[in-house]
Chain A
Amino acid sequence: MNLTLKVWRQDGPSDQGRMVTYEVKDVSPDMSFLEMLDVLNERLILEGGDPVAFDHDCREGICGMCGMVINGVAHGEQRATTTCQLHMRHFKDGDTVTIEPWRAAPFPVVKDLVVDRSAFDRIIQAGGFISVPAGSAPDAHAIPVKKDDADSAFDAATCIGCGACVAACPNGSASLFTAAKITHLGLLPQGQPERDKRAKAMVDQMDLEGFGGCTNTGECTAVCPKGIPLSTIAQMNRDYLKSK
Chain B
Amino acid sequence: MIRNVDAVTATIERGAATAPVASHEQPRPPTAARNHKGGFFRSSNGKKVVMAVTGAVMVLYLIAHMAGNLKIFFGAADFNEYAAFLREIGHPLVPHRTVLTLVEVVLSVSVVLHMWSAVSLARRAAKARPVKYAARPKSQASGYAVKTMRYGGVIILLFIIWHLLDLTFAAVNPAGPNGEPYQRMVEGFAPGRWPVTLFYVVALLLVGLHLRHGLWSAFQTLGLAGGRRERPVKLAAAGLSALLVLGFLSVPLSITIGLVK
Q: How many residues of chain B get a CB closer than 8 Å to chain A's CBs? A: 49
> What's the minimum C-beta distance from A185 to chain B, rounded to whole angstroms?
15
**Cβ of B124 and Cβ of A171 under 8 Å apart?**
yes
Chain A interface size, as a band, is 35 or more
Alpha-carbon distance between A233 and B138 when the two chains are bound, in angstroms: 22
9-residue interface stretch from A30-38, A66-74, A85-93: A66-74
A240 cross-chain contacts in B, Cβ below 8 A: 45, 223
9-residue interface stretch from B125-133, B173-181, B186-194: B125-133
Does A201 count as interface, using CB distance less than 8 angstroms?
yes
**Cβ of A205 and Cβ of B32 under 8 Å apart?**
yes
Given A98-B134, A173-B128, A234-B220; A214-B44 close (CB under 8 Å): yes
Alpha-carbon distance between A203 and B45 when the two chains are bound, in angstroms: 8
> What's the minimum C-beta distance from A114 to chain B, rounded to whole angstroms?
11
**Cβ of A122 and Cβ of B125 under 8 Å apart?**
no
Does B43 count as interface, using CB distance less than 8 angstroms?
yes
**When A and B form their complex, what is the total count of cross-chain residue pairs whose Cβ atoms lie within 8 Å?**
161
> What's the minimum C-beta distance from B106 to chain A, rounded to whole angstroms?
22
Alpha-carbon distance between A98 and B71 when the two chains are bound, in angstroms: 57
> What's the minimum C-beta distance from A163 to chain B, rounded to whole angstroms?
13
What residue in chain B is nearest A240 (Cβ atoms)? B45
Within 154-176 of B, Cβ neighbours of A (below 8 Å) are at: none
Alpha-carbon distance between A65 and B29 when the two chains are bound, in angstroms: 22
Does A39 count as interface, using CB distance less than 8 angstroms?
no
Does A180 count as interface, using CB distance less than 8 angstroms?
no
Query: Out of B49, B121, B142, which one reaches A241, CB within 8 Å?
Result: B49
**Cβ of B226 and Cβ of A218 under 8 Å apart?**
no
A211 cross-chain contacts in B, Cβ below 8 A: 44, 128
**Cβ of A217 and Cβ of B146 under 8 Å apart?**
yes
Query: Out of B32, B43, B121, B224, which one reaches A234, CB within 8 Å?
Result: B224
A71 cross-chain contacts in B, Cβ below 8 A: 135, 138
Query: Out of B140, B219, B221, which one reaches A73, CB within 8 Å?
Result: B140
What residue in chain A is nearest B230 (Cβ atoms)? A231
Query: Out of A19, A205, A212, which one reaches B125, CB within 8 Å?
Result: A212
What residue in chain B is nearest A106 (Cβ atoms)? B128
> What's the minimum C-beta distance from A213 to chain B, rounded to whole angstroms?
3
Does A222 count as interface, using CB distance less than 8 angstroms?
yes
Within 20-41 of B, Cβ neighbours of A (below 8 Å) are at: 28-33, 36, 40
What residue in chain B is nearest A235 (Cβ atoms)? B226
Instruction: Report which residue of B32, B130, B136, B137 has the largest number of chain A beta carbons within 10 angstroms of its beta carbon.
Output: B32
Q: Scoring A residues 202 to 244 as 1 if CB is less than 8 Å from chain B, else 0, what string do you get?
A: 0111111111111111110111000000111111111111001
Does A77 count as interface, using CB distance less than 8 angstroms?
yes
**Cβ of B135 and Cβ of A213 under 8 Å apart?**
no
Does A152 count as interface, using CB distance less than 8 angstroms?
yes
Given A8-B134, A73-B137; A237-B128 close (CB under 8 Å): no
**Cβ of A230 and Cβ of B44 under 8 Å apart?**
no
**Cβ of B121 and Cβ of A212 under 8 Å apart?**
yes
Does A6 count as interface, using CB distance less than 8 angstroms?
yes
**Cβ of B127 and Cβ of A210 under 8 Å apart?**
yes
B79 cross-chain contacts in A, Cβ below 8 A: none
**Cβ of B141 and Cβ of A219 under 8 Å apart?**
yes
Q: Scoring B residues 34 to 74 as 1 if CB is less than 8 Å from chain A, else 0, what string do you get?
A: 00100010011101110000000000000000000000000
A-B residue pairs, 7 tightest by C-beta: A238-B223, A172-B128, A213-B44, A234-B226, A222-B140, A171-B125, A218-B141
> What would 10 more interface pairs be, CB under 8 Å, given A213-B125, A240-B223?
A69-B135, A77-B140, A98-B134, A106-B128, A204-B36, A215-B217, A234-B219, A234-B220, A238-B222, A239-B223
